[in-house]
A = this chain, B = another copy of it.
Amino acid sequence: MSVTLQLAVPYLVFLGDVPSAVYAKTALGIVQWAPEKCVAQHRFPDCEIDTGLTDMSIAEAAVAGAKSLVIGSAPVGGAIQENWIPSLLEAMAAGLDIVSGLHTKLTDYSVLREAAEKYSVRLIDVRVPPQNLPIGNGEKRTGKRLLAVGTDCSVGKKYTTLAIAEALQAREVNCDFRATGQTGIMIAGSGMPIDSVVCDFTAGAAETLSPDNDPNHWDIVEGQGSLFTPAYAGVSLGLLHGTQPDALVVCHDPLREHIVGCPNHPVPSVQTCIETNLLMARLTNPAVQCIGVSVNTSQVPKSQRQAVLDQISAETGLPAVDPIIDGVEPIIEQLIRLYPSQEHTQLNKTKDGEIA
């Protein structure tokens, strides 16, 4: 039985009175990557932010089939706002779960807890990991896994893995995006808030997130942190060991000089990051390979962009792309070349006449 978080779809995306797009990143991310999970948005009268979804009242959304109200606004301080409460209560009365990735928990509000019990709906704080996670065991699982790792935090691991999963699905490769952070979990509708897990269970939680699967199936696992962050490297290592990835993609910001929050810690080179991650990953998958580099070039002058990518590619011998500007096709090509699916292999063999 799965012990990952599971959200009920489709969503009513709650914007409330969000004052600007900066604070609506969660809503915009959900609508960008999972429009098929969204039935409508709900805004207060003066709200000018628009995800492009149909506006609905809570009653209309319930009639339209919404199963969860997902809080898509992230105010300063990360707290549920008092003036949201009536909307949340109305949604619960209409049978919707409430889903939040905010810092303060839905379950900290007695008025919400009481309503959840009264209406038999769930309050889901996606930062709170599920109970009864197992200890990791390091046993080899079937199916294939790709994990994004990084030279630092906040270098595009979520975007990269979402883009890779989307591109593989477009090629009809059997795959799932596996979320490890709050926005990713809302996009996927399930997942594991890995950095909130008690550290004894981090690897076990990662094992739970990408269970046994068909041999040709790919789990595309959102990375967290970096082996080079003094604060979070343990999270990254537990995720690396528990995921037992076949393929790594390294994410990198070429203009970042030091680790976020640690001015005395320089960002490592991409090649150093690859070597260290491969060394540590071999504990649970000796066959692990790095298949590509995802580079955030948004702040690189346009005239230098290709040179930056070419240099990283030359240093590593791997495709290097900006996933937002270039897409991820060169990484997808590499993945399909290095890991031919059983069908592909058989087709090739048939072509070569080795199989009648």
A308 at the interface (CB under 8 A from B): no
CB distance from A226 to the nearest CB of B (A): 10
B283 lies within 8 A of A228 (CB) = yes
Q: Which of A5-24 contact B (CB under 8 A)?
A: none
A137 and B262 contact, Cβ closer than 8 Å, known pairs A233-B241, A237-B234, A241-B234: yes
A200 at the interface (CB under 8 A from B): yes
Give the complex CA separation of A232 and B138 in angstroms.
Answer: 10
CB distance from A269 to the nearest CB of B (A): 14
B198 lies within 8 A of A136 (CB) = no
A300 at the interface (CB under 8 A from B): no
B241 lies within 8 A of A136 (CB) = no
A197 at the interface (CB under 8 A from B): yes
Per-position 1/0 for A194-238, Cβ under 8 A of B: 111111101110000000000000000000000110111111111
Give the complex CA separation of A239 and B244 in angstroms.
Answer: 22
Give the complex CA separation of A230 and B204 in angstroms.
Answer: 9
**Chain B residue contacts of A238, Cβ below 8 A:** 199, 233-235
A103 at the interface (CB under 8 A from B): no
CB distance from A25 to the nearest CB of B (A): 20
B203 lies within 8 A of A283 (CB) = no
Q: Which of B136, B195, B200, B284 contacts A195 (CB 8 A)?
A: B200
A173 at the interface (CB under 8 A from B): no
A230 and B235 contact, Cβ closer than 8 Å, known pairs A138-B265, A262-B137, A262-B138: no
Q: Which of A236-290 contact B (CB under 8 A)?
A: 236-239, 241-242, 259, 261-262, 264-265, 276, 279-280, 283-284
Q: Which of B135, B198, B231, B283 contacts A197 (CB 8 A)?
A: B198
Give the complex CA separation of A235 and B235 in angstroms.
Answer: 8
A196 lies within 8 A of B200 (CB) = yes
A46 at the interface (CB under 8 A from B): no
A235 lies within 8 A of B196 (CB) = no
A230 and B199 contact, Cβ closer than 8 Å, known pairs A137-B261, A137-B262, A264-B139: no
B228 lies within 8 A of A203 (CB) = no
Give the complex CA separation of A237 and B138 in angstroms.
Answer: 17
CB distance from A230 to the nearest CB of B (A): 3
CB distance from A203 to the nearest CB of B (A): 5
A230 lies within 8 A of B138 (CB) = yes
Which of A135, A136, A227, A264 has the most B CB atoms < 10 Å from its CB?
A136
A198 and B200 contact, Cβ closer than 8 Å, known pairs A241-B234, A261-B137, A264-B138: no
Give the complex CA separation of A194 and B202 in angstroms.
Answer: 13
26 intermolecular pairs with C-beta atoms under 8 Å apart: A135-B231, A136-B232, A137-B231, A137-B261, A138-B231, A138-B265, A139-B262, A195-B198, A196-B199, A197-B198, A197-B199, A198-B198, A199-B234, A200-B235, A203-B231, A203-B232, A230-B241, A230-B283, A230-B284, A233-B238, A233-B241, A234-B234, A234-B238, A234-B239, A237-B237, A276-B279
User: Beyond the given A136-B230, A197-B198, A233-B238, could you list 15 further A-B residue pairs with CB under 8 A, ordered by the A residue number?
Assistant: A137-B262, A139-B262, A194-B199, A196-B198, A202-B235, A203-B231, A228-B283, A230-B242, A230-B283, A233-B237, A233-B241, A233-B283, A234-B237, A234-B238, A237-B237
